[in-house]
Amino acid sequence: MDKISIIVPCYNEEQALPEFYRAVSAAVEEIDGAECEFIFVDDGSRDHTPDILDSLACTDKRCRSISFSRNFGKEAAMYAGLQNAEGDYCVFMDADLQHPPALLKEMYRVVSTEGYDCCAGLREDRTGEKGVRTVLSRAFYKVIRKICKLDMGDGKGDFRMMNRAMADSVLELKEYNRYMKGIFSFVGFDTKWIPFHNVERTAGETKWSLRSLFRYAVEGILSFSSVPATLAGTTGALLVIAAIIIGMCSLLTGNGLTGIPLLVCLILLLNGIQMFFISIVGQYASKDYIESKNRPIYIVKKKRGF
């Protein structure tokens, strides 16, 4: 019989956890051919989350949990959960029931019978979310898709069930600053997306402020792209071109290159050259930054004839 590890990052989720446990337990009853284990990761909660996890571990032997010494962030909690998961399949779920437990059965069917390595939920809408957050999130995903060359779209979140091979590959990326959506996309493997509608949190409040979301967005871009470092180069080149155009215009109109046009030309030229070299330094730094993450050079999905 297959085992599915349900990994749940929890930060101050005392209000949501009891209902989460009840709803997910009921949903896994419906799955034939698989049993489940729960790995709850208490990410430094300051409410009664640890007490709830203690009592779950006492009453249900499928429930195990880890408590962090402080709040390390959802990405760290997901990593710790995956490290401790023993299942043939692993699925990440938020504790607030925004990831519908009813999809677990279909996800298991897809990964166990359709030949996919991963089955992920695709959130089709953002109903119930605050307007500013929706606008900023959409803009962020547009930018990140353009500059990162990885498949990270709006609605492609962390709710996904993956097989052991993919889970082990995710664990191989040991970088400290973890942007999970980028990591899932980086490791590759065949993923089937199944759509679901956004639901509001069952209880409690979102842990993300606009500020923390902004930091998370910057993390995502910097972890998977060196485009920001090349921006300085492009700006530098544009300034040099502008200097040349102004210089040529002054000369062609017969005014000679003196006075204010000369000054503007020199300022643009010198700044342009400076920015260009800053960009070169940035490129070296970004290469070094990627190297320091020690990511695997390739990931094998299957070997034949060995």
Nearest approach, Cβ of 181 to ligand UDP (angstroms)?
Answer: 12
- Distance from C-alpha of 29 to C-alpha of 39, rounded to nearest angstrom: 17
CB 61 within 8 A of CB 35: no
The one among 34, 52, 73, 123 contacting ligand UDP by CB under 6 A:
73
Nearer residue to ligand UDP within complex by CB, 48 or 109: 48
Nearest approach, Cβ of 9 to ligand UDP (angstroms)?
Answer: 3
CB 189 within 8 A of CB 301: yes
The one among 53, 95, 152, 170 contacting ligand UDP by CB under 6 A:
95
Question: Which strands form 89-92's sheet, in the order they lie side by side?
Answer: 63-67, 34-42, 2-10, 89-92, 156-163, 118-123, 191-196
Interface residues toward Mg ion, by CB under 5 A = 94, 96, 98
Nearest approach, Cβ of 68 to ligand UDP (angstroms)?
Answer: 9
Among 51, 49, 40, CA closest to 16: 49
The one among 37, 96, 117, 154 contacting ligand UDP by CB under 6 A:
96
Nearest approach, Cβ of 27 to ligand UDP (angstroms)?
Answer: 17
The one among 4, 5, 6, 9 contacting ligand UDP by CB under 6 A:
9
Nearer residue to ligand UDP within complex by CB, 13 or 154: 13
Q: Is residue 13 a contact point for ligand UDP (CB under 6 A)? A: yes
Mapping DSSP to helix (H, G, I), strand (E, B) and coil, where does residue 123 land?
strand
Q: What angle, 0 to 180 degrees and rounded to 10, lies between the N-to-C axes of helices 103-113 and 17-29?
A: 50
The one among 198, 206, 230, 283 contacting ligand UDP by CB under 6 A:
206
Q: Is residue 71 a contact point for ligand UDP (CB under 6 A)? A: yes
Partner residues linked to 191 by β-bridges = 118
Distances (CA, A) of 131 to 60, 138, 141: 41, 11, 16
Nearer residue to Mg ion within complex by CB, 198 or 271: 198
| ∠ Cα 23 25 29 (to 5°) | 115
Nearer residue to Mg ion within complex by CB, 98 or 185: 98
Binding partner selected for residue 272 from ligand UDP, Mg ion, none, CB under the kind-specific 5 to 8 Å limit: none
Name the one residue in this structure whose structure tokens are 């957050």: 133
Binding residues (CB under 6 A) for ligand UDP: these are 9-11, 13, 43, 71, 73-74, 77, 94-96, 98, 206-208
